[in-house]
Structure formats: C-alpha cells, structure tokens
Amino acid sequence: MTDQFDEGVKEILLSLLSLGATAYETDYLIDVLRDRPEPIEQKVDALKQAEEIIISPSFDKAAEGALKRLEDTPPERKARRSIPTGVEATPPSTEQSIHSKLVQGGLTPIAAAGVVANLWAESKLDPAVKQYKGGPGRGLAQWERGGRFDTDRINLVGFAEKRGTDWTDLDTQVAFILHELDVHPEYRRVKTLLNSAESVDEATTIFLKKYEKAGTEHADKRLAYGREFYNKYIK
C-alpha cells in the first residue's frame, strides 16, 4: 500500500470517527462517503477500519449496509460473505426470531440474548457465511471444518442431513445449537451456566468463553450488542 493510499484512508477514517451516534445509518454513511474524492477501494478500507475502532452495534449494522452498496466491492469482502447480490443477510426480525427459538428451546431470555450477541459477532447472523480469508469457520456460530462443523461425533452437517435440510438453513443451525446444549457432555454444562446468568453481560461472556471459545477478541462489541438487544426487545 502506498503512502498516498494510506493518507487517503486516514482522511476518510477521521471523517467517519468524527460522526456522532445519530449518524449511524447506512444512508447517511453512503452520503458521507459519496461526497469524498477518494476511490472506492480507500472508502471500503476506511469503513472496515472504522468498524474495528467504533464499539457500537448500530455502527456495525450501518457499515455492513454501506459496504454492500459501495460499487466494485473488493474480492476479499465478497469472499467473506457468501450472499447473493441484493439479498439482505440480516432482516430486521432475524435476531428476534433466533432469540424466540432459543427461548422456546429451553434458554432463559437473558441466556438467549447472550447467545444472539455472540452469533452477531461471529457471523452477523448469516447462516451461510464462511470465515474470512478461507478460514475453517462456517455458519452462525462459525463451527469449524474438521471439527464441530463436519467431523466431530456431533456435527452440524450430519445434524442437517438427518433433518433433511442443508447446513446453511438458519432454523437448522439454531436447532443444532440447542441440540449441542442438550446432548453434548461439555455443552450441557454451558446451558446450565447460561440459564443461571443474572445479566446479559454474564450470559454473553459465558457463551463466548465456554461455547465459542473465541478468547476475548471483540468482547466489547459482543457485550455492547447484547445490552442493546436486551434493552430493545426484552427489558
């Protein structure tokens, strides 16, 4: 990357970081970027960097929409999300639908909110997503190939085949999460811990450490989304 390219990205990034929370809407971000003289590639790079810096689920959602609408999306972005052009990965009711199914499956509303927060961080609630740069993660929870996705005794692909569905089916993946929490020796204990959580922060952290086992990467965003979801739909 040239110094000139770096400077252009920096200028766009500074303009995005200066926006107030009320500007976290896809249309507004597109307007801001459209008015700038830099090429599309720099705008995309700056927007992705802003996603990493700004800890706000609202900004994440707006940025996702803006990235989809920018012309000439870089190949790496297309590889990250296996979504047909024009199809929304996360309809407005998707998170509510997943939460409802989890509660129906035996989780408390707080526990289910913590699960949804983690799934948002892992996949933006896109059941067909494949891990960035060819990684092994697949689906809502980014189950890994060579493990819980397809080769473990209890795996998503086999579970889907028994149901007569494809592994990319959202309802199948939610059912598989509940199946693991009910029958897997390790994750049955996770369900007990989740249902004893007294706050959405606690539930989010339990699912992150005990089920996703993703370390603390982007933990702040998971916690922020969990609180936002809980306050919007449950509280």
pLDDT digits (tens, 9 = 90+) for 182-192: 999 999 999 99
**Percent helix, strand and coil across the chain, each to the nearest 5:** 65, 0, 35
> Could you tell me if 104 and 151 lie in one domain?
yes
Query: pLDDT confidence of 85, banded at 50, 70, 90?
Result: very low
Question: Alpha helix locations (H) across 18-168?
Answer: 26-34, 40-53, 57-69, 75-80, 94-104, 109-123, 156-163
Please indicate, yes or no, whether residues 139 and 37 belong to a single structural domain of this protein.
no
Q: Does the pLDDT of residue 90 top 70, yes or no?
A: no
Mean pLDDT, residues 79-101 taken together = 61
**pLDDT score of 87 more than 70:** no
Q: What is the CATH number of the domain that holds 133?
A: 1.10.530.10
The answer to the question of residue 89 being in a domain is no
How many domains would you assign to the chain? 2
Domain-terminating residue out of 49, 80, 111? 80
Q: At residue 54, does pLDDT exceed 90?
A: no
Task: List, in order, residues 6 or more apart from 139 with CB less than 8 Å away.
Answer: 123, 127, 128, 129, 149, 156, 167, 168, 173
Q: How confident is the model at residue 82 (pLDDT cuts 50, 70, 90)?
A: very low
Strand partners, 138: 130, 143
* Cα dihedral value 101, 105, 106, 112, nearest 10: -30
Domain containing 223: what range? 94-234
Which pLDDT score, from 0 to 100, does residue 89 have?
45
Rounded CA gap, 168 and 172, in Å? 8
At residue 57 the predicted structure's pLDDT band, cuts being 50, 70 and 90, is confident
In the chain, % of residues over pLDDT 70: 84
Give the up-direction half-sphere exposure of residue 79: CA atoms within 13 A in the CB hemisphere. Answer: 10
23 — pLDDT class (breaks 50, 70, 90): low
Average pLDDT, the chain: 83
| Average pLDDT value for residue range 25-31 | 77
**Residue 87 resides in a domain:** no
Give the integer Cα–Cα distance in Å for 211 and 131.
Answer: 17
Domain endpoint, select from 80, 109, 134:
80
Q: What is the pTM of this model?
A: 0.66
74 and 98 housed in the same domain: no
CA distance 116 to 100: 10
